Structure 1
Amino acid sequence: MDGPVLVTGAAGFAGGHLVSLLRADGPVVGWYRPGVPPPPASLALGPDVSWVAVDLTDAAAVDAAIADLKPSAVHHLAGAANQGAAWAHSDVTLELNVRVTHVLLRAVARHVPTARVLVTTSAAIYAASDAPLREDDPIAPATPYAVSKLAQEMVALDAARDGGLDVIVARPFNHIGTGQDLGFFAPAFARQVARIEAGLEPGPMRVGNLTPRRDLCDVRDTVRAYRLLVQGGARGQVYNVCRGEAIAISALLDMLRAQAAVPIDVEVDPARLRPVDLPVLVGDHGRLTATTGWTPQIPLADTITALLEEQRALIPRP
C-alpha cells in the first residue's frame, strides 16, 4: 500500500515525538482531538506532516476518516494515559482506551484490512514482581487504568487472531522526556525544581510516594521502538518496550535536585499518594531486541537534564 502513516494521539507526548521521527520516512498524518487548538508550531514539521481533527469516540467520524485516508500503517497512541485520573474517571478511561480502539480497528478492517496497526497498551497490566517482566509473565491489573489497558490489548489481539488484521501490541513501561504533561511525576518534579530555584515557590517540594522503583525509558527511545515494530514486528505478537532496569523515584528526584541552583528540601504530601502503587515495575526487552535489534540509547541523566532545561524555559522569570 502507498498510503500515508497515521498516528492517533499525534499531538500528545509520545505522539509528537513519534511524528517527528516518522516524517523522515514519508507522509505522516496526525490525528488530534477536535475542540482544542491545532498542534503548536513546534509540531508543524514540514510538508510531509498533515494534521486532522478527528473525534475518536465518534464511530462514524472515524470510519469516514479512515475511508478517506486509507493509511498504509497506523500507530494508535491515542487514549487516556494518566493513571491517577483513572481512579476518579474510570468510565472515561474505559471509553478512550477500549471502545476507541475497537472503533478504530473496525474501520481499518472495513477500509484498509492490509494496513499494519501498532496498538500501544501498558506494562501496568502485569502482576507485581521484583524480577524483570517478560511478555508471558502473569497478568493482574490492579488499577482502573491497568484494567482498561488490558481490555484494550485483548481487543487488539482479538482483531489479529479472529479479525485477520495485521496488529502488533507494544507494552511500554514508563517513558519520560520533554513535552510530557505535568500530571506525570518526572515533569512535575522538574517544574517544582525550576520554580523554587527561580524564587517563584518557597519550597519544600511536595511529592507523593518516592519509594517505588520504575523502569524509565526516554520517550525518544520508546517511539523508535514503535517505528521498528511497525517495520519488522510479528503480527499478533506483544512486545515490551523498556530500559530493562529500575530506579527508585526518589533517586530520579535526587538527580533533579542535584542540578538545582539552590538547595531544595522535600516533603511528602498525603494528597498525592495513590490508592495502589506497585513497589517495583521493571521489564525485559529481549523479545523486542531479538526481533528488531532495538536497545535503549539515551542515558537517563541526559533525559533528566532535558526535562529540567525545558521547565526552566517555560516558567516566567522575576
Structure 2
Amino acid sequence: MGLTIRKILANVQNGTIRVPAFQRGFVWDTERVAYLMDSIYKEFPYGALILWRTKEKLTHERHLGPFQLPDVEPDYPIDYVLDGQQRLTSIFGVFQTELDPVDTTPWPAVYFDMSAEAVLQESQFVCPNPEDVDLDRHFPLGTFFDVTAYRKATSGLTTEQAELIDGVQASRVSAERLCAALAVTGLCTFIIGFVAGLSLFSTMWTILGFGIALTLVAVGLIVAIAVRKPLQVGDPNPVNGPNAALSILLMSGLACATVVGLTITGFIALSGDTSLESSPAQDVVTCVGAGAAALGIASFLGAVAIKISIHFARPRQSTP
C-alpha cells in the first residue's frame, strides 16, 4: 500500500503502526538520517517499507526508536514493521511533533541547508549541534507538518528562501486528487466504450472510449508531474539538470499520448457512421497520431535512460 509521510505520522501516532520485539533497535546515526531526507527530496531510491497487517496484537513489542507507541483499540488492524524500521523511525522522528522520546537522549533535529550547493553526492540536509544552528541558513524540517511552526519559521526568510522551502515542503494533495479523478474517469470511459462496443457489435465505441481514456489519463499525469516536480530549465545545478530533463521527457511523452488520444477521438468523430472507412481528413488525423505515438515512445525511452543514469550517479548505501 502507498503511504505518504503525513499518513505515516498519523498511523504511528494512533498506534496502528507498531514494531515487533524481534526487530533490532534503532541504530542509525544523525548523518544517515539526514542522508535519507536528502534521498527523499532528490527522489533517489531509498528502499521499501514492508508491513504485516493483523488484528492480533503481539505480546512483545518494541518502541519505535526512542518513541513509546500509544495503545491501539482492540480488534483494530495493526501494521507491524517487518522491514524498513530504520527508515520509518527516521521519517517519524524528523517530522512528528506529538511524542517525546522516552530516553534521556533527545532526538536530533534535521535542517535543510538553504545555502548548500545542490550536487548529487552531497546532502543538503544536516544535523548541526544546537549551538551551530543558523536560522538564516538552516530550516527545521520538524515544522513541515505544523502549520503554526512553519508559518513562524518562514516569516523571516527572503522571497528566494521562502520559494526554496516551499518547493521542499509543498503539498501535492490537490494534484494527486486531480490525477486520480482523471485516471478514474478515463478508466470508466474506456469500460463504458468497451461495453457499448460489445453491446452494439461495433468497434467504434470501444476505440472512442480508449481515445478519451488515454487523453484523460495522460492529462492527469501531466498535471501531477508538473506540480510534484516543477521544471527548472536552464538551472546550473547538477541535480536539477537531470531531473528537469527527466520531467521534460516524461511530460513530452504524455503530451504525445494526449495527442494520440485526441486523434483517435477525432478519427471516430469524423466518421459519419459506424464504419471506420478512411476519409482525407481522417488520413491527416492518422498521420498526426502516428507521429505523436513515435515521438512519445522516443520521449519515454529517453526518460528511462535518464532515470537509470540518475540512479547510478550516486553511491549506494546498504540499508537495513
Q: TM-score range by the shorter chain?
A: under 0.3
Decide which structure has the larger Cα Rg and report it. 2
Structure with the higher fraction of residues in strand conformation: 1
| Structure having the larger proportion of residues in helix | 2
Question: Higher relative contact order at CA 8 Å, sep ≥6: structure 1 or structure 2?
Answer: 1
